[in-house]
Amino acid sequence: MNVVTPSPGRGIAALLHGGWRGHLLALLAGAILPLAYAPFDFIFLAVLAPALLFALWLQVSPRQALVRGYLFGVGMFGVGVSWVFVSMYENGGVGLAMSLFLTSVFVLFLSLFPAVLGYGLARLLPWPHPAAQRLKLLLLFPVGWVLWEWVRGWFFTGFPWLALGYSQIDGPLAGIAPVLGVYGVSLAAALSAGWLVLLLCGGWVWRSAAALGLAIVWGGAVALNNLSWVQPIGQPLKVSLLQGNIPQDLKWLWDLRDPTLELYTNLTRASWDSDLIVWPETAVPALYHEVADFFDSLAAEANQHGSALLMGVIYQEPNDGPYYNSVVSVGGATPRQFYHKRHLVPFTEYLPLEGVLGGLVKFMQVPMSDFSAGDNAAPLAVAGQRVGISICYEDAFGEETIEALPEATLLVNVTNDAWFGHSIAPQQHLQMARMRALEAGRPLLRATNTGLTAVMDERGRVLSQAPQFEVYALHDTVQPMQGLTPYGRFGNMPVVTAVLIIMVGGWLILRRVKPR
């Protein structure tokens, strides 16, 4: 007697095979995924939501897979990056209708990534054979997901927000980050999602393989959490991070320039017992050369007290040259140094395709929105340390952060999340900064205008944090570190190479499977 082994599609996926119910579930699955991230931190949803999408992609046509992937993306980005509306409407001077329109366009564009992934997997891997369906869940869906996360991280300058790995910073899978980075953690979560579906609706052999795989990945991640990849160097450093809490709509007003400088100067003078004092992004609301005397005076005070400062400022080259979003070192034994932001934010710090989109940036009303990009990632010598600098959005890119290694013994990020008001963006942004500290094996100091200002250790753990939307000077002590994590040495290359090999290998294997 012939025994037909049930395919995964005859379980959960078969119930969702066609019709509007499957499409609705895809939308809901995407909408709950952002709850896996800060500030909600239901980290299990980073496995459950993709698992539901993978089940919905089984045994459907390419068109259905595209629609479900797109609806998943609409839910995911519609909830997860809704703060884009806040930045435009509340702080960008854009009208309500235009803010809604531009936010919708942004969400709909990002939704193309899971849509194209679903379509591509269904088109290139159409085999309905039960073994083929299980291979998709075992490997191909998960590695395809991570491959598209990586593409989204660099395509059109990159938008790596809501990579699965970020949600796991406080979970067992975090131990993978120093080895394979955030995309390695994403891979573990995506594999877990595929294996969860197999565990629920595969044959006993496949269920056993899925259970074994889950035990290896999660057990291995826990074991990696116990390893130390870096070592202390020198004495602990006393630090102060200043949070001026200047509302975005007031930040660039001429009448408030002197009061703003006075506010930060008073916070600094109350922190002279620290080795390093950090001001937020563009904390100085003027061009560097316009207030050069102010920097000279503050440097003299810093030297008297044995302190050094890192200050956010806009620097313009002489003779009306290009200007940069910068950090300048003030005080200390070394000459004054600058770090110029290298990874600019499209449409706010610079305008891509300016000849085509020249009128669009006028809606944003961002002061000095034509920055030039810096080209040097070298750490600055400050307070006896080599400090790797990132400005705002740059801490979303792990491969750029590690360019300061191994020289950097400490990481500093300055940012201005006042753009995003009371939305979830500042919490998400802090979560990403924590991942950078964990990947690099370096403590990270994060000074922000309105929050979330925080001190993190080399494992990405928050040691102290300033209350949001308050004027505050956060004082703490950090231990500089040396050495290289595997991720610090190799970056994203191992994960990207692995997922490409698996995708090609899986496709070649499926070509040998006879459809039925």
- The DSSP result for 415-461, as a single string, is E-GGGGTTSSHHHHHHHHHHHHHHHHT--EEEEESSS--EEE-TTS-
Burial class of residue 392, CB neighbours in 10 A (0-12, 13-18, 19+): buried
Same domain, 51 and 82: yes
Type of residue at 148: W
Are both 291 and 363 inside the same structural domain? yes
- How far is Cα 133 from Cα 151, in angstroms, rounded to an integer? 25
Q: pTM of this prediction?
A: 0.92
- 194 and 282 belong to one structural domain: no
Q: Are residues 73 and 153 in the same domain?
A: yes
* CATH number of the domain within which 332 lies: 3.60.110.10
Q: What is the pLDDT of residue 90?
A: 85
Q: How far apart, in whole angstroms, are the C-alpha atoms of residue 463 and residue 454?
A: 7
Residue 379 lies in a domain: yes
Cβ-contact 167, 32 below 8 angstroms: no
Strand pairing partners for 34?
Answer: none
* 3-class SS of residue 446: strand
**In a domain? residue 1:** no
Residue 2 resides in a domain: no
| DSSP E strand stretches across 298-344 | 308-316, 323-330, 338-340
Residues 78 and 112 in one domain: yes
∠ CA 4-10-11 to the nearest 5 degrees? 120
Starting at the edge strand found earlier in the chain, the sheet holding 454-456 runs: 380-382, 385-391, 410-415, 444-448, 454-456, 462-465
Q: What is d(CA 150, CA 497) in angstroms, rounded to the nearest whole number?
A: 11
Residue 133 CA to residue 214 CA, distance in Å, equals 19
Asked if 427 and 452 touch (Cβ cutoff 8 Å), the reply is yes
Least Cα distance to 325 among 385, 264, 284 occurs for 284
pLDDT tens digits for the chain (516 residues)? 333 344 444 545 455 565 788 999 999 999 999 999 999 999 999 999 999 999 999 988 999 999 999 999 999 999 999 999 998 888 777 889 998 999 999 999 999 999 999 999 988 877 677 777 888 898 999 999 999 999 999 988 889 999 999 999 999 999 999 999 999 999 999 999 999 999 988 788 888 989 999 999 999 999 999 999 999 999 999 999 999 999 888 888 888 899 999 999 999 999 999 999 999 999 999 999 999 999 999 999 999 999 999 999 999 998 888 999 999 999 987 889 999 999 988 777 776 655 544 555 555 444 446 889 999 999 999 999 999 999 998 999 999 999 999 999 999 999 999 889 899 999 999 999 999 999 999 999 999 999 899 999 999 999 999 999 999 999 999 999 999 999 999 999 999 999 999 989 888 887 776 555
Cβ-Cβ contacts under 8 Å for 66 (sequence gap 6 or more)? 115, 116, 118, 119, 122
User: How much is the pLDDT for 3?
Assistant: 35
Alpha-helical regions (H) of 287-364 = 292-305, 354-357
Residue 493: per-residue pLDDT: 97
Q: For residues 183 and 223, state if they share a domain.
A: yes
Is 392 catalytic? The answer is: yes
Question: 406: which 2 tokens?
Answer: 């191994």
Residue 247 confidence (pLDDT): 87
**CA neighbor of 446 nearest in space, from 416, 424, 419, 471:** 416
In whole angstroms, give the CA distance from residue 514 to residue 425.
48
176 and 116 share one domain = yes
Let me know if 17 is exposed, middle or buried by CB neighbors in 10 A (0-12, 13-18, 19+): middle
Asked whether 234 and 276 are in contact (CB, 8 A), the reply is no
Query: How many helices and strands in the chain, by DSSP H and E?
Result: 18, 14
CA–CA distance, 238 with 334 (Å, rounded to integer): 19
Q: Please pick, among 90, 149, 201, 341, the residue that the annotation labels catalytic.
A: 341
Q: Is the residue at 450 inside a domain?
A: yes
CB atoms within 10 A of CB 297: 13
Inside any domain, residue 3: no
Q: Does some domain include residue 516?
A: no
CB neighbours of 461 closer than 8 A, spacing ≥ 6? 434
Per the domain annotation, does 146 fall within a domain? yes
Query: What gap in Å lies between CA 348 and CA 341, rounded to an integer?
Result: 14
| Pair 487, 227: CB distance under 8 Å | no
Are residues 195 and 287 both part of a single domain? Answer: no
Q: Which helix (H) or strand (E) holds 241?
A: strand 237-243
Q: Are residues 356 and 212 in the same domain?
A: no
Tell me what pLDDT residue 293 has. 93
What is the greatest pairwise CA distance in the chain? 92
Counted domains in the chain: 2
Local structure of 310: helix, strand or coil: strand
Give the residues across from 239 on adjacent strands.
276, 476
Question: What residues contact residue 450 under an 8 Å CB cut-off, 6+ apart?
Answer: 243, 245, 246, 247, 416, 417, 418, 426, 468, 469
Domain identity same for 101 and 246? no
8 prior amide bond cis, ω within 30 = no
Total residue count of the chain as it appears in this document: 516
User: Which residues make Cβ contacts (< 8 Å) with residue 184, sequence separation at least 6?
Assistant: 165, 176, 177, 487, 494, 495
Q: Which range marks the domain in which residue 393 is found?
A: 232-483
Reading the block at residue 256, the tokens are: 């408030």
Do the domain assignments include residue 28?
yes
What tokens does 89 get? 């409407």
User: In angstroms, rounded to a whole number, what is the distance separating the alpha carbons of residues 310 and 339?
Assistant: 10
Contacts of range 462-468, beta carbons closer than 8 Å, 24 or more positions apart:
462/430, 462/434, 466/241, 466/243, 468/426
* Residue 341 annotated among the catalytic residues of the structure: yes
What is the DSSP secondary structure assignment for residue 395, as one 8-state letter?
Answer: G
The number of angstroms, rounded, from the C-alpha of 160 to the middle of its chain's C-alpha atoms is 5
Which residue is listed with tokens 């980290």?
A: 43
281 is catalytic: yes
- Catalytic residue, candidates 281, 403, 439, 458: 281
* Cα 361 → chain centroid: 24
Q: Which of 136, 201, 349, 392 is catalytic?
A: 392
Are β-strands 472-478 and 462-465 bridged in parallel, bridged antiparallel, or unpaired? Answer: unpaired
pLDDT at 366: 47
Residues 322 and 195 occupy one common structural domain: no
Q: Are residues 497 and 469 in the same domain?
A: no
